[in-house]
Structure 1
């Protein structure tokens, strides 16, 4: 099966050729190990549901649906699953949650108080008690969380990173995964961004420098090949 990369038709052909000359071919085998983990980045209600001012159902809905077969394959193979959740509310403790850059039409978004807790993982995932959920205050899932300790304990060598948004918290988590010497795989259809342009260009940049971008079907096949 040939992956249709999300940057096709967005990143100019001459730019792709330039990167290939300096960094190697776009089409290449996945660099994966034998002990992966799934990192679901910030796929909480407040990002995947447009009922929340920071949410985007149009982008988040398909990414949530694409993530479900990954979770099913991971659970069947006994692969650890980690969800990161962003602390969105302001805090009275200075320095814990930094200044927010979320503005819509020039104003800070206000959430309808009648809505359920937006920081909860998307309901469709049916997150299990033995699946780790980490609260974070910065874009990367590694920053000031026990994620690295958890991955080290389980002797993980490969991170499959999904979630939202591609140009923000997904990118930051993937970069930190690379910095910590993990193989990083990004199934592009299980990631999303409110900006289609930033989604495509961020994935291209990550693919050419720090990670392997592929599709969900390829990752499910990989997970299915692991010993039970």
Structure 2
């Protein structure tokens, strides 16, 4: 999947698969998955279904962490991002757009929900510390959107030293063109990109229990 020009430039390495993975499910909240709830939403059904298979496979292996983006009612914590996308004002904490998609296999007894205000799930959150405490050496990534919050989180994961592994079937974007181009970009420079079946096979071979489960 890597771009030939990037390969010629030396971007031809492969991240090492770890033994203590965590799963990060980015922004599969109603404001992004239900078109009747927010103008930001698109049809994420197939990616949500695929992500549930990934969540189920992670049980007993590593922590499952969900991120949700939302703001105070007065938008004081939105920052300049609102200048690029006015629809972000529909994401008010405590309202339906900031609820997890109810189809997700979220387990309140063991899973964690992180609230964020910007694209990366690392920015302004405790995510890096949580992953370090769990001794995570492999961050599996699902969610939306591929070109936005997924990519931003993947770049930060690389920069914080948590090798990111994006599951292609489990990420989605309202723009098919941006979805494909960003998968190529991440695969070339910042992450490994796997099909769901391949990642499920990797998880099936793992027996190390998570410190958080």
Q: TM-score range by the shorter chain?
A: 0.7 to 0.9
User: Is 1:41 matched with 2:26?
Assistant: yes
Gaps (5+ residues) in structure 2?
209-213
Give the structure-1-normalised TM-score: 0.81
SS at 2:22's partner residue?
strand
What's the offset of the Cα at 1:86? 0.3
Give 2:151's aligned residue: 171
1:67-92 CA-partner distances (Å, limit 9, x unpaired): 111001001x3310000000145535
Contact 1:37 1:159 in 2 (8 A): yes
For residues 195 and 40 of structure 1, the distance between their equivalents in structure 2, rounded to whole angstroms, comes to 19
* 91 and 24 in structure 1: CA distance in 2 versus 1, 3 angstrom threshold: same
Structure 2 CA distance for partners of 1:98 and 1:182, relative to 1, 3 Å: same
- The runs of at least 4 consecutive aligned structure 1 residues that moved more than 2 Å come to 28-31, 88-93, 108-111
Decide which moves more: 151-160 or 48-57.
48-57
Equivalent position of 2:69 in the other structure? 86
Give SS of 1:190's match: strand
Are 2:1 and 1:18 aligned? Answer: no
- Match of 1:134? 114
Number of residue equivalences: 201
Structure 2-normalised TM-score? 0.86
Q: Does 1:56 align with 2:42?
A: yes
Query: How far did 1:212 drift?
Result: 0.3
State whether structure 2 residue 73 is matched by structure 1 residue 73.
no
Aligned to 2:167: 187
Structure 1 78/18 Cα, relative in aligned 2: closer, same or farther at 3 Å?
closer
1:92, 1:109 → 2: CA distance? 9
Q: Could you tell me how far 1:24 is from its partner in structure 2?
A: 4.7
- Residue 37 of structure 1, CA deviation: 0.3
Cα offset for 1:192?
0.5
Partner Cα separation in structure 2 for residue 109 and residue 21 of structure 1: 39
Question: In 1, distance between residues paired with 2:61 and 2:174?
Answer: 32
